Structure 1
Amino acid sequence: MTQQLDYALVQDAAARIAGRVRPVAVAPAGPGTWFALEHLQHTGSFKARGARNFLAAHREAGGLPAAGVTIASGGNAGLACAWAARAEGIPATVFLPETAPAVKVKRLASYGAEVRLHGSGYAEAVEACRAHAADSGALLSHAYDHPLVAAGAGTLLDEIRAALPELDAVVVSVGGGGLFAGVAAAARAHGVRVVAVEPENCRSLHAALEADRPVDVAVSSVAADALGASRVSADALAAAKDPGVTPVLVPDEAVVRARLALWEEHRLVVEHAAATAWAAVAGSPGVHGERTAVVLCGANTDPADLS
């Protein structure tokens, strides 16, 4: 099922998942800045949107096999896929790196997924997942690099605009680029600027821009469990070339400070991936426009280190 990622595909996704995901809430963060509280989404991250859209679209097309669906993930996409598969009544097999946080592995099991740990990084889990799909006949999903998955994530933008009609800019964390590509497709249609934020040592988007093609990069960051894709999607690279997009790098130290500040100052518990977006804004809210929304993309974390 090959489709082009554009605003029309995002609109189709919005109609398809309406009533199946939680509409995003927004809350003031500081002068000219709001939080988009997507960490309150089903399964604890924005990934629920793409997973519901992906499976619902395949069901509409008669393409959900008895073997179910399989996906490789750093954790959040696997949770969303397992949750969506349960809603569709099909099995899910999720491949994670052996370094995946225990909190995510435990939650996956609670959704009824078969969890397989393979390799030390996301790329190795992907290869094992592909082999399983070929052997079993399971539908192969992707954590971020699929138009239906990215379009589902992109539904966030119009929900934010409904709450903030004069929105100037949206700030998103970037790993493999599914959230960024989907949001950018919708933002471009409305003249909203996008700030795409990566940890300094998980810079697959920046590397792709420098090479003018997606390339493999080494990843090492406190946010690598969610933002540790070694290669960005082609859709994300295309989106990043738009003049309305500003790519930004932040150091891990800023990510850690931002996550702690979100708890201490706002009582928001989020994972490092979500704090990555805030790290680009904290201390200078409103700098990206009169109205800026910062997407807090996930909350699948152990809060023990916040006290």
Structure 2
Amino acid sequence: MDWQAEITAARARIAGHIRQTPAARMTLGGHDLWLKFEQMQHSGSFKARGAFNTLLSADVPAAGVVAASGGNHGAAVAYAAAQLGYPAHIFVPEVSSPSKIALIERSGATCHVVPGLYADAMERARAHEAETGAMQIHAYDAVPTVAGQGTLMAEWEAQGLEADTILIAVGGGGLIAGSLACLAGRRKVVAVEPETSCALNAALAAGHPVDVPVSGIAADALGARRVGDICFGLAQAQGIASVTVPDAAIAEARQVLWRDLRQWVEPSGACALAVLTSGAYVPSAGERVAVLICGANPSPDPSEP
């Protein structure tokens, strides 16, 4: 796979449909960091990049599109489909937050809430695809999705990113896969996952993707039962570091972002920062660290979880 060509083409394809999100160097939580504020992207997460790239590179059938999602991917597909004039059916698990469900519904998509977790929503989405002929847009394990997410890292480097190490939260692995594909080993990448939803960490330990139990405060965004094959292949080939953090550390990192920057993000958006604020990852002397803030679809009240 020529990932550089795929990402370059994706970047040209989605220009004009996505925002260039801010990046800045600042001190946060006692650390001097480069930050990328991708939570300011359309629909509140990086997922809009992959959604637009998929839709703009395919012949969409009359039945429109279908996607399974913990919330953010569904919101992105719903937004992109609405912008491009396609009908969309989004299947989300019952653990998805009310704010994400409302965001999907406001776009005009039909949102189906499914008992269980992401895997159960995916089963229903595949059934809808088979019944209607709608085009399935996978949340993380498809080349157009991964290439679209890879445009984020290309954009960040074009903004002057100065970092030896980049911390990235992982669910199913689309974001980190795109980043690894773009970077091609030029920088160290650390995968950060909740202790209670750690599909990539478990896969790297086992030597192949495995099913994992899913729970915790970030389960609606990082709760993939099994990491994507594309992500696993890239992560294993590049020998990336993998670290997990407890829910309490993620909750504290959210408060740091709110207290110091007035940025109220969802738990998944603070997961990568949590590895620093908790001490689970300690940079070496002189190591320049960057943190990707990736999602902002929580409850709108900072006093709420």
2:237 and 2:23 mapped to 1: Cα distance? 26
1:5 and 1:131 mapped to 2: Cα distance? 32
| Contact 1:53–1:148 (Cα < 8 Å) also in 2 | yes
Q: Deviations over 1:35-76 (max 9, x none)?
A: 100000000000000000010010xxxx21010000000000
Aligned residues: 299
| Contact 1:86–1:112 (Cα < 8 Å) also in 2 | yes
Pick aligned residue for 1:273 from 268, 277, 281:
268
Pick aligned residue for 2:250 from 233, 243, 255:
255
Q: Which amino acid aligns with 1:11?
A: T
Q: Which moved more, 1:176-185 or 1:260-269?
A: 260-269
2:135 and 2:288 mapped to 1: Cα distance? 41
Deviation at 1:243, TM superposition (A): 4.2
Unpaired segments ≥5 residues, structure 2: none
| Contact 1:222–1:252 (Cα < 8 Å) also in 2 | yes
Pick aligned residue for 1:152 from 139, 148, 160:
148
Match of 1:138 in 2: 134
Find the residue that maps to 1:306 and give its secondary structure.
coil
Q: Which amino acid aligns with 1:180?
A: I
Find the residue that maps to 2:277 and give its secondary structure.
coil
1:274 and 1:48 mapped to 2: Cα distance? 15
Q: Which amino acid aligns with 1:38?
A: E
Q: Which amino acid aligns with 1:152?
A: G
Match of 2:25 in 1: 28
Match of 1:291 in 2: 288
Match of 1:171 in 2: 167
1:27 and 1:53 mapped to 2: Cα distance? 26
Q: Relative to 1, partners in 2 of residues 1:19 and 1:90: Cα closer, same or farther, differing over 3 Å?
A: same
How large is the Cα RMSD of the aligned pairs? 1.8
Pick aligned residue for 1:128 from 124, 127, 131:
124
1:225 lines up with 2:220 in the alignment: yes
1:233 and 1:25 mapped to 2: Cα distance? 28
| Contact 1:5–1:182 (Cα < 8 Å) also in 2 | no
- TM-score normalised by the chain length of structure 2: 0.93
Match of 1:103 in 2: 99
Deviation at 1:165, TM superposition (A): 4.4
| Contact 1:194–1:244 (Cα < 8 Å) also in 2 | no
Q: Which moved more, 1:30-39 or 1:14-23?
A: 30-39
| Contact 2:66–2:135 (Cα < 8 Å) also in 1 | yes
Find the residue that maps to 1:255 and give its secondary structure.
helix
Deviation at 1:137, TM superposition (A): 0.6
Match of 1:54 in 2: 54
2:289 and 2:282 mapped to 1: Cα distance? 6
Find the residue that maps to 2:75 and give its secondary structure.
helix
| Contact 1:258–1:282 (Cα < 8 Å) also in 2 | yes
Deviation at 1:118, TM superposition (A): 1.1
| Contact 2:34–2:163 (Cα < 8 Å) also in 1 | no
| Contact 2:197–2:224 (Cα < 8 Å) also in 1 | yes
1:304 lines up with 2:301 in the alignment: yes
Q: Deviations over 1:139-164 (max 9, x none)?
A: 01111111110111111112111222
Q: Relative to 1, partners in 2 of residues 1:71 and 1:300: Cα closer, same or farther, differing over 3 Å?
A: same
Deviation at 1:242, TM superposition (A): 3.7
Find the residue that maps to 1:27 and give its secondary structure.
strand
2:165 and 2:14 mapped to 1: Cα distance? 24
Match of 1:12 in 2: 9
Match of 1:86 in 2: 82
1:12 and 1:216 mapped to 2: Cα distance? 33
Q: Relative to 1, partners in 2 of residues 1:228 and 1:267: Cα closer, same or farther, differing over 3 Å?
A: same
2:303 and 2:271 mapped to 1: Cα distance? 16
Deviation at 1:99, TM superposition (A): 2.1
2:111 and 2:155 mapped to 1: Cα distance? 33
- TM-score normalised by the chain length of structure 1: 0.93
Deviation at 1:287, TM superposition (A): 1.9
2:145 and 2:10 mapped to 1: Cα distance? 9
| Contact 2:150–2:179 (Cα < 8 Å) also in 1 | yes
Spell out structure 1 runs of 4+ moving beyond 4 A.
283-286
Q: Deviations over 1:5-42 (max 9, x none)?
A: 72221111111111210112112332541210000000
Pick aligned residue for 2:209 from 211, 214, 218:
214
Q: Which amino acid aligns with 1:108?
A: I
Unpaired segments ≥5 residues, structure 1: none
| Contact 2:264–2:302 (Cα < 8 Å) also in 1 | no
Match of 1:237 in 2: 232
Q: Deviations over 1:227-276 (max 9, x none)?
A: 00001001111122244621111111100100111101111111000110
Match of 1:37 in 2: 37
